[in-house]
Structure 1
Amino acid sequence: MKLWFITACLALAVGACASAPTTQYYRLSDTAYRLPATQKSNVVLRVVVAEPLKGQNLLYQTDAHTLHFAKQHLWAEPLDIAIRNQLANALNQQNRPVRFVPPSLQNNDTPELTVYIEQFHGRFDGQTQIEGYSVFKHQGKTTAGSNFSVLTAQQGDGYAAMIDSLSTGLQQVATQIAP
């Protein structure tokens, strides 16, 4: 009887170790900031993410009221920086009269575009959702602002397809937020 019990415990312990899930890390598609070569006036781009998005976990909305925080599917870098870099690259590709730069290139008189991300996740209906608003400030005064809401169809299943869809959605956000 003792031998049977010890064998069963060992089998359970070995089985538990063998089935431990692996953690996967994800990045948005265009998170390496590229400084445009053109000499234009700078606008500092800042991104502020809502509290639920500040963690490392990817989010998935499982029904109309429930968000699921993934445990083994995590962001490989801080989400606010990844979104900022991808948005800056997208904005700079739009041939605007200014270039969007990270806060490290700010001086005392640099205008500032702050993008607040309130929703950034996959959804149960096969879409990804990005919502928020932007505020443009110059010399301490708010001069413009706008809301944005983008739903993007997810092509395929899984977290990688969700990340691709979110990246596509950020391209659409870039067209809506520029002052």
Structure 2
Amino acid sequence: MKALLCAAATALVLSACASAPATEYHRLPDAVYRLPDNHKPSVVLKVVLAEPLKGNALLYQTDAHTVHFAKQHLWSQALDIALRNQLANELNRRGSAWRFVPAELKTSEQELVVYIESFQGRYDGSTQIDGYTAWRNNNQTVPGRNFSVTTPQQGDGYNAMVESLSLGLQQVAAEILP
């Protein structure tokens, strides 16, 4: 009986040590929208994500053909909202002729739609952001630009990956509005 009780206690202790790692939530550094002070004409900014990006898991490409969804590393807010806010902030800092606003502040019939096809870490130590834009004005759509940005990741881990993706968004803004 003592041996059975000792074996059960040992199994219980070992199972407690093997518990799953805690879930970590990540956010882009500039994912809070800031309304600019200028009174330029407004353009509504909208971000549309490719299907694999619509979940809340961070993505990591392990080879040329395989993408994995992180299980314990998740976005702390909806990725399309975080991307829209950071891109709007980046575009507004570029000093263009427009003021980019989220749809909730819609004050214009003009809209810039940014389609994000990939937003992930890569096996080669970099991050990748791919997509394209389209301008809409009074229900007419005009194609914009394609963009493909690869940013070197400084350091290891998901925090370094998120920081690299954030730097990549600065480059995406520069490609959208050169």
Same fold per superposition (TM over 0.5): yes
Deviations 1:29-56 (Å, cap 9, x if unpaired)?
1001000011111000000111111111
Give the secondary structure class of the aligned counterpart of 1:129.
Answer: strand
Cα distance in 2 between the residues matched to 1:178 and 1:165: 20
| Offset of residue 152 of structure 1 | 0.2
Task: Kindly provide the CA deviation profile for residues 45-70 of structure 1, in whole angstroms up to 9, marking residues without a partner as x.
Answer: 00011111111111111111111111
**2:34 matched residue in structure 1:** 34
Looking at structure 2, the residues matched to 145 and 115 of structure 1 have their Cα atoms a distance apart, in angstroms, of: 9
Structure 1 residue 9 displacement after superposition? 3.1
Q: Distance in 2 between matches of 1:3 and 1:48?
A: 62
Using the size of structure 1 for normalisation, the TM-score is 0.93
Q: Report the equivalent of 1:145.
A: 144
> Which residue of structure 2 lines up, in the alignment, with residue 84 of structure 1?
84
What's the TM-score once normalised by structure 2's chain length? Answer: 0.94
Q: Counterparts of 2:62 and 2:140 in 1: how far apart (Å)?
A: 40
Residue 126 of structure 2 aligns with an amino acid whose one-letter code is: Q
Consecutive unaligned residues in structure 2, runs of 5 or more: none
Runs of 4 or more consecutive aligned structure 1 residues displaced over 6 Å after TM superposition: none
Q: Which residue of 2 aligns with 1:163?
A: 162
Quick one: distance in 2 between partners of 1:76 and 1:8? 41
Percent identity over the alignment is 56
Secondary structure, aligned partner of 1:17: helix
SS at match of 2:47: strand
What SS does the aligned partner of 1:168 have? helix
**Paired AA for residue 92 in structure 1:** N
Q: What's the CA shift for 1:161?
A: 0.2
Residue 106 of structure 1 deviates from its aligned partner by: 1.4
Task: Give 2:58's aligned residue.
Answer: 58
CA RMSD of aligned residues (A): 1.4
Q: Take 1:106 and 1:178, find their aligned partners in 2: how far apart are those partners? A: 21
Aligned twin of 1:112: 111
Give me the whole-angstrom Cα distance separating, in 2, the residues matched to 1:142 and 1:47.
15
Deviations 1:129-164 (A, max 9, x none): 000111111111112311110000000000000000
CA distance in 1, matches of 2:69, 2:5: 37
Residues matched between the structures, number: 177
